[in-house]
Structure 1
Amino acid sequence: MESPDPAERKWACVAVSNLIQNDPSTRRLLQGKNIVGALITRLSDSEEEVVVEAGGALRNLCIDGGYDICAEMYNKNILTPLKTFIPKISTTLSQFLENPKTSPENAQKLVYEFADNIITILWCLSETSNKALNAINQIALVPFLMSFLGSRSKLPVSTVTSAAQCLYVLTDDNWPATNELRTNGAYTACLLSIVVPDEESLKANGIMRNIVPIPPPSIASTVDIDRDIVLPTLEPVLASISTAEASQRAQELIAQEDSIPEIQKLSLKNALKMDHRSPSEIELERLERKLKTVQLALEILTGVCATLPDPEPPVEEEVGEEDPERDNDDEDMDQDDPDMEDDENTPDHADKQATSAALPSLVAPLLSLIQPTPLSFPPISGGLSPHPPTTSVLSAIHIRALECLNNVFLSLASPARSQNQNVDRGVQKDSGVKIWEEVWKALSAVGTEVEGPGQESRRDMWQVAVGVLWGIAVVWKGLLIPQEEQVKILMQLCESAADVNMKVKCIGTLECLAQHPESIDANRVISNYFLTLIPSPTRPTAAPAEPLLQALSALIDVYSDENLPYDINFRQGDYLAALAASVEGVRKAVRGIDRKRERELRRRGEEVRDNLVAFVEYRRGLRL
């Protein structure tokens, strides 16, 4: 790379690109030899072809190496040479667009590929740290990137897509870029005009979501971005691919690649040409790109679902009764801000409700996308996947689809939605059971061995899926028949989980299953488990505060109607005595919650404590 011969410098950069792709050990070895610093130096090389190949190698390092590599690049001042390329690329791009026939096709291709590489590096750096993002904000990238989207019909799709991705990252909770875009009517009009359901348009939709609300007089200010643009674009993308078929095709291509003799592979890698990939590698890359389009669609849909009306009801303070354990000087913290309320008559509320109503139609394709394939995870026995890039994107698709389902069912389980759907629940019981079974089918394929090296995606699947199960169980509460194996898995998961939120989700799901009227045995098993999570005279400290409160609230909710068939468990198991004996331990646990640091949890703890006291008195009064 330091040779006086420019051809040697060029092919040294090409060699680095080849060596690092999907090979973490070689990449780490080269990192130890300061390959990042050497490549950044080559960005200032006197030969254009060396600069282009160095840019390509750095781009591959960014994508394959992740945050650590990007942080190293930023610390070694990669932005200094990158900044000089922006005006040069802009000038050359304008010349190509004005007089395309005067420039050789090879020269144009070289510039477009180089622009793609530089843009990709900038977007990866933007995700590295706030320090890097703030430095990139000073480069004024928005006009540069929008020029690619504005001329998209005359430019290569890959370069335009990279520009859109970079804008998507830059406008994610980043005020300078967001404000520059939303206040420029030409930019918002350009984004609105990209409506074809491909990766390019999805990113444009994602950018539009990032910059709303858009002020007048832009035409975009009158459009409901989610309902009118984003959701209609997402639906065909989600239905455009079968992950099972994609996995099968990838395996066929991997087999084809493995069947190529080593000597032929060497000749391909060493060929003096820009594209040193076999036909099977090119098709694998194309398949991966299609899967990443679906992943992006799910990422945007997750954002749409996350802006739905809050499913949690507001906590109402009782008037006229003071809590003896509440500090008087904290009263000002509990005042609600009237300006923050979501008025049901506002247009924004109506838009959210309309968007929420459209989401159930997406459940079927989402259920299809959560099902694992043979390539979705690395082998449990250890080692690498046969094709890590495909495995990475497949597992990301499953997790994103679960996140979407989680938000959909949070919306459907909200009190307002539930009241409107009580009449329909019985009719829709079969669909609820089918959804429930499909999620468990996916989890069965994931398996419970999730603690080995490289199994992070399996753990993430369970983490998100239990939230989905809870949402489904709330919507069809009392209609889902608890299965012994499922109940056992949820209890084991609750016990083994280090994450408090995971424990709470398991308890919430079990609570709903316990309310199936005819499942008396399952109700007893679940309730006895809940009793192990609450304090007793012999066990003053049971579960952490949040799971404890969830289990206590669950027991109160499950046995709030003494006329249900399973209430016999409450009487025969002497649950009333156990709950009465837990009161002092619960009071102590609630007092232990820091009111200032964990305000909402303390408030909820006080509410559950009061409910417990009232519930014990109520059940005693029944004298059953």
Structure 2
Amino acid sequence: MGKSQKKRLMRRHNPMRVPDSHLPKGLESAAESSAKKEAVLPIMQKMESPDSSERKWACVAASNLIQNDPSTRRLLQGKNVVGSLITRLSDSEEEVWIEAAGALRNLCIDGGYDICAEMYNKNILAPLKAFVPRISSALSQFIDSPKSLPENARRVVYEFAENVITIFWCLSETSNKALNAINAIGFDSFPDLPTATVTAAAQSLYVLTDDNWPAIDAIRSETSDDRFVMLYVLCCGILGNISPLPPPSSAPNFDVSKDLIFPRLHPVISSVSLDAAVQRVQELVARQANEPLEIEKLSLKHVPKSDHKLSTELELEKLENRLRTVQLALEILTGVYATLPDPVAEAELGNDDREELEDGDGDGNMSDAPMEDAMDLDQSSQPVAGDLHTSLSLPSLVRPLLTLIQPTALSFPPPSAPSCHPPTTSALSCLNNIFLSLAAHPHSERCADDSAAQTIWSEIWTSLSKVGVDIAVGQEQKQVIWEIAVGVLWGVGKIWKGKLVPTEEHVRILMSICDASTDSQVQVKCIGALECLAQHPNSLDANRVISSYLLDILPTSTSPSPKGTEPLIQAVSALIDIYSDESLHYDVNFREGKFEDRLAQSVEGLRKAVRAINRKTETDLKLRGEEVRDNLIAFIKYRKELRF
């Protein structure tokens, strides 16, 4: 039962961008659904124009058509807009390559993995590499001689640097090849700012902001709340990535995860109301219909202003940035939860330490803030730093995540329509790791509250009922959610095994997901969750249905298992666990159904399946398979010797 880890591919794809998975394949279908298809050919023609103003116009127009218009974006891709824009990065005119970088940056963000891979394959790193020393030199000049260039020129450099860095960032999450190629560029000089200069600037800011309200107000006005919080979250993530910090940077007992990351990021994930965000998005989209962008009237004078965005687009972007910040915080916390202490590590502690680990605390009063206070980071609201287990009280830990997994009106589109998707799957990944970590500490007082179990179980299923199991074209995100959710359900089931009352609907859904999936890990999670539900002592019917389903996964003397080796091993292990105590009320199903005979028929098939596992490439699975095989043989012998 694995924990969710950080995902490199598409990890930072904007949660509110419009995907194109709802579109039928092929350029013809894209042309039919694009409202701006007539603009594509002129744009591509002017991209190669001898007139630099036309080349610049083409880059600006492409940049705008890329955003939230997947049909037109696909048409531009069909005309090799990626290759043309990469060529324009080496243009003789500065304004052209500046605009080309902005368009490529938007392509990275909106187009996702496939376009980033195309850029890498078309050698975008070659021209980008040449920009690194130029940007570094310009930034150093700004520090050394602040008045050497006018403000508008500095702004152009800053925006261009941001675009280049964003492209590097997106490419880094495309593949290890791209990441290694970017590593090879070497960023020790990007920017090439002397440590003494950076330190002097920091010292100046420190003095200027020490009880000096005019300076404080000025600096605050230059830093948007959303960008500041994103920077705040990124700093936490960077420290987590490079921890443990080398001495003397950290105190002897300082733990980055428990003392820094959790107490600072937990308020961030509690700060956004998805319902309020969705309502505002819907209002802005309605307004946007009356605020069309006229491609031919794009300004080409002087420097680009706000990427030529409309007022509604800028406000939508602000909302998007808030959700991206929450999503990033969730991903960082997912990594923290994935590294909570294992039972083995806890067993090595002394009694006093173990008691401290198991002593949960917290007020559990987290709630959604209104949108206008969406990123309030008042330190008084943060939990007191301490042992990670102490600070992870179950109510305060889980409540904001349960809020974030509830789908909204924009989570899933109707068939063949675009969708804006809030960070539902990131919250589910956090829950997955939390409950799997808590399941490794079954004696924790945190898990003793049965009423909390019913509340958590009910809210997860309430969320999943809104997701639904009917997955239409363009709604593939539902499948992703279910694949993560079954791991959450298994984790909750393991913690409160035997205390969750199974319903016919829940059992049926878990079985149908297991049957529909071709992913062995998803099948294993479904089987694990069913195993936990089967152990409710008074639910004889559910126990019989689940056990019969698990028995159908087993091989017979003449045929192999209908599922893969790993689900088979999990099913055998589940049946042994369910019927390990013959005194339980539901054990009557084992006896009346003659499950012992069916298990005996599966032994040889299980032996063959385990024997076929490659010990070198699947060592852990091989060991687990051998253990379950031996347990099955011993279990059958034990049941035969029982006398009722």
TM over 0.5: yes
Aligned residue number for residue 418 of structure 1: 442
Q: What is the CA–CA distance in structure 2 between the aligned matches of 1:284 and 1:51, rounded to whole Å?
A: 27
Taking a change above 3 Å as real, the CA distance of residues 589 and 30 of structure 1, as seen in their structure-2 partners, is: closer
Aligned residue number for residue 416 of structure 2: 382
Aligned residue number for residue 115 of structure 1: 161
Q: What is the CA–CA distance in structure 2 between the aligned matches of 1:124 and 1:137, rounded to whole Å?
A: 14
Structure 1 stretches of 5 or more lacking a match? 156-195, 314-339, 386-390
The alpha-carbon deviation at position 212 of structure 1 amounts to 2.0
CA contact under 8 A between 2:490 and 2:529: conserved in structure 1? yes
Taking a change above 3 Å as real, the CA distance of residues 5 and 293 of structure 1, as seen in their structure-2 partners, is: same
The alpha-carbon deviation at position 252 of structure 1 amounts to 1.1
- 1:126-141 to structure 2, matched below 5 A, reads 126-141=172-187
Q: What is the CA–CA distance in structure 2 between the aligned matches of 1:563 and 1:121, rounded to whole Å?
A: 63
Taking a change above 3 Å as real, the CA distance of residues 465 and 12 of structure 1, as seen in their structure-2 partners, is: same
Aligned residue number for residue 215 of structure 2: none
Q: What is the CA–CA distance in structure 2 between the aligned matches of 1:611 and 1:38, rounded to whole Å?
A: 63
The alpha-carbon deviation at position 70 of structure 1 amounts to 2.8
Taking a change above 3 Å as real, the CA distance of residues 206 and 404 of structure 1, as seen in their structure-2 partners, is: same
Aligned residue number for residue 31 of structure 2: none
CA contact under 8 A between 2:135 and 2:191: conserved in structure 1? no
Query: RMSD of the TM alignment (CA)?
Result: 3.2
Does 2:476 align with 1:448?
no
The alpha-carbon deviation at position 542 of structure 1 amounts to 4.4
- 1:169-248 to structure 2, matched below 5 A, reads 198-219=229-250, 223-248=254-279
Q: What is the CA–CA distance in structure 1 between the aligned matches of 2:92 and 2:161, rounded to whole Å?
A: 18
Moved more, 434-443 or 34-43: 34-43
Taking a change above 3 Å as real, the CA distance of residues 138 and 555 of structure 1, as seen in their structure-2 partners, is: closer
Taking a change above 3 Å as real, the CA distance of residues 471 and 599 of structure 1, as seen in their structure-2 partners, is: same
Aligned residue number for residue 278 of structure 1: 310
- 1:62-461 to structure 2, matched below 5 A, reads 62-144=108-190, 198-219=229-250, 223-260=254-291, 262=292, 265-266=293-294, 270-272=298-300, 274-275=305-306, 276-310=308-342, 343-344=348-349, 354-359=387-392, 360=394, 361-379=396-414, 381-385=415-419, 391-392=420-421, 394=422, 397-414=423-440, 417-421=441-445, 425-426=447-448, 428-450=449-471, 452-461=472-481
CA contact under 8 A between 2:607 and 2:629: conserved in structure 1? yes
- Residues 174-226 of structure 1 show CA distances to partners (whole Å, capped at 9, x for unaligned) of xxxxxxxxxxxxxxxxxxxxxx9711021111111112233223347863111
Taking a change above 3 Å as real, the CA distance of residues 269 and 538 of structure 1, as seen in their structure-2 partners, is: farther
The alpha-carbon deviation at position 362 of structure 1 amounts to 1.8
The alpha-carbon deviation at position 473 of structure 1 amounts to 0.6
Specify the code of the residue in structure 1 equivalent to 2:432: N
TM-score by length of 2: 0.77
The alpha-carbon deviation at position 498 of structure 1 amounts to 1.0
CA contact under 8 A between 2:140 and 2:193: conserved in structure 1? no
Aligned residue number for residue 80 of structure 2: 34
The alpha-carbon deviation at position 398 of structure 1 amounts to 0.8
Say which SS state the counterpart of residue 482 (structure 1) adopts.
coil
CA contact under 8 A between 1:309 and 1:352: conserved in structure 2? no
The alpha-carbon deviation at position 540 of structure 1 amounts to 5.1
Specify the code of the residue in structure 2 equivalent to 1:6: S
Q: What is the CA–CA distance in structure 2 between the aligned matches of 1:230 and 1:271, rounded to whole Å?
A: 44
- Residues 435-488 of structure 1 show CA distances to partners (whole Å, capped at 9, x for unaligned) of 1111111111111012x3322211110000000000001101111111111011
The alpha-carbon deviation at position 303 of structure 1 amounts to 0.8
CA contact under 8 A between 1:556 and 1:612: conserved in structure 2? yes
CA contact under 8 A between 1:268 and 1:277: conserved in structure 2? no
Aligned residue number for residue 183 of structure 1: none
Moved more, 41-50 or 237-246: 41-50
CA contact under 8 A between 1:535 and 1:585: conserved in structure 2? yes
Which of these residues, 36, 48, 54, is aligned with residue 8 of structure 1?
Answer: 54
Q: What is the CA–CA distance in structure 1 between the aligned matches of 2:153 and 2:402, rounded to whole Å?
A: 46
Specify the code of the residue in structure 2 equivalent to 1:372: P
Q: What is the CA–CA distance in structure 2 between the aligned matches of 1:371 and 1:69, rounded to whole Å?
A: 30
The alpha-carbon deviation at position 503 of structure 1 amounts to 1.4
- 1:453-492 to structure 2, matched below 5 A, reads 453-492=473-512
Aligned residue number for residue 576 of structure 2: 556
- Residues 310-335 of structure 1 show CA distances to partners (whole Å, capped at 9, x for unaligned) of 46x7xxxxxxxxxxxxxxxxxxxxxx
Does 2:644 align with 1:616?
no
CA contact under 8 A between 1:197 and 1:237: conserved in structure 2? no
The alpha-carbon deviation at position 109 of structure 1 amounts to 1.5
The alpha-carbon deviation at position 147 of structure 1 amounts to 5.5
Specify the code of the residue in structure 1 equivalent to 2:443: Q
Q: What is the CA–CA distance in structure 2 between the aligned matches of 1:491 and 1:372, rounded to whole Å?
A: 23
Aligned residue number for residue 191 of structure 1: none
Which of these residues, 63, 71, 74, is aligned with residue 17 of structure 1?
Answer: 63
Q: What is the CA–CA distance in structure 2 between the aligned matches of 1:34 and 1:493, rounded to whole Å?
A: 40
Q: What is the CA–CA distance in structure 2 between the aligned matches of 1:473 and 1:521, rounded to whole Å?
A: 18
Q: What is the CA–CA distance in structure 1 between the aligned matches of 2:116 and 2:562, rounded to whole Å?
A: 45
Paired-residue identity, %:
57
- Residues 347-380 of structure 1 show CA distances to partners (whole Å, capped at 9, x for unaligned) of x99999932443333211111111110101232x
CA contact under 8 A between 1:344 and 1:350: conserved in structure 2? no
Q: What is the CA–CA distance in structure 1 between the aligned matches of 2:354 and 2:577, rounded to whole Å?
A: 30
The alpha-carbon deviation at position 86 of structure 1 amounts to 2.1
Q: What is the CA–CA distance in structure 1 between the aligned matches of 2:492 and 2:515, rounded to whole Å?
A: 22
Q: What is the CA–CA distance in structure 2 between the aligned matches of 1:586 and 1:88, rounded to whole Å?
A: 64
Taking a change above 3 Å as real, the CA distance of residues 278 and 535 of structure 1, as seen in their structure-2 partners, is: same
Specify the code of the residue in structure 1 equivalent to 2:329: A
Q: What is the CA–CA distance in structure 1 between the aligned matches of 2:194 and 2:65, rounded to whole Å?
A: 31
CA contact under 8 A between 1:197 and 1:233: conserved in structure 2? no
Say which SS state the counterpart of residue 432 (structure 1) adopts.
helix
The alpha-carbon deviation at position 301 of structure 1 amounts to 0.6
Q: What is the CA–CA distance in structure 2 between the aligned matches of 1:581 and 1:595, rounded to whole Å?
A: 25
More helix by percentage:
1
Higher relative contact order (CA closer than 8 Å, sequence separation 6+): 2
Aligned residue number for residue 25 of structure 2: none
Q: What is the CA–CA distance in structure 2 between the aligned matches of 1:541 and 1:132, rounded to whole Å?
A: 41
The alpha-carbon deviation at position 76 of structure 1 amounts to 3.5
Taking a change above 3 Å as real, the CA distance of residues 116 and 221 of structure 1, as seen in their structure-2 partners, is: farther
- Residues 225-253 of structure 1 show CA distances to partners (whole Å, capped at 9, x for unaligned) of 11111111111110110112111111111
TM-score by length of 1: 0.79
CA contact under 8 A between 2:356 and 2:390: conserved in structure 1? no
The alpha-carbon deviation at position 577 of structure 1 amounts to 2.4
Q: What is the CA–CA distance in structure 1 between the aligned matches of 2:470 and 2:158, rounded to whole Å?
A: 46
Say which SS state the counterpart of residue 442 (structure 2) adopts.
helix
Does 2:546 align with 1:500?
no
Taking a change above 3 Å as real, the CA distance of residues 70 and 507 of structure 1, as seen in their structure-2 partners, is: closer
Equivalent pairs, count: 540
Specify the code of the residue in structure 2 equivalent to 1:225: V
- Residues 139-189 of structure 1 show CA distances to partners (whole Å, capped at 9, x for unaligned) of 32245259599969999xxxxxxxxxxxxxxxxxxxxxxxxxxxxxxxxxx
Q: What is the CA–CA distance in structure 2 between the aligned matches of 1:148 and 1:430, rounded to whole Å?
A: 58
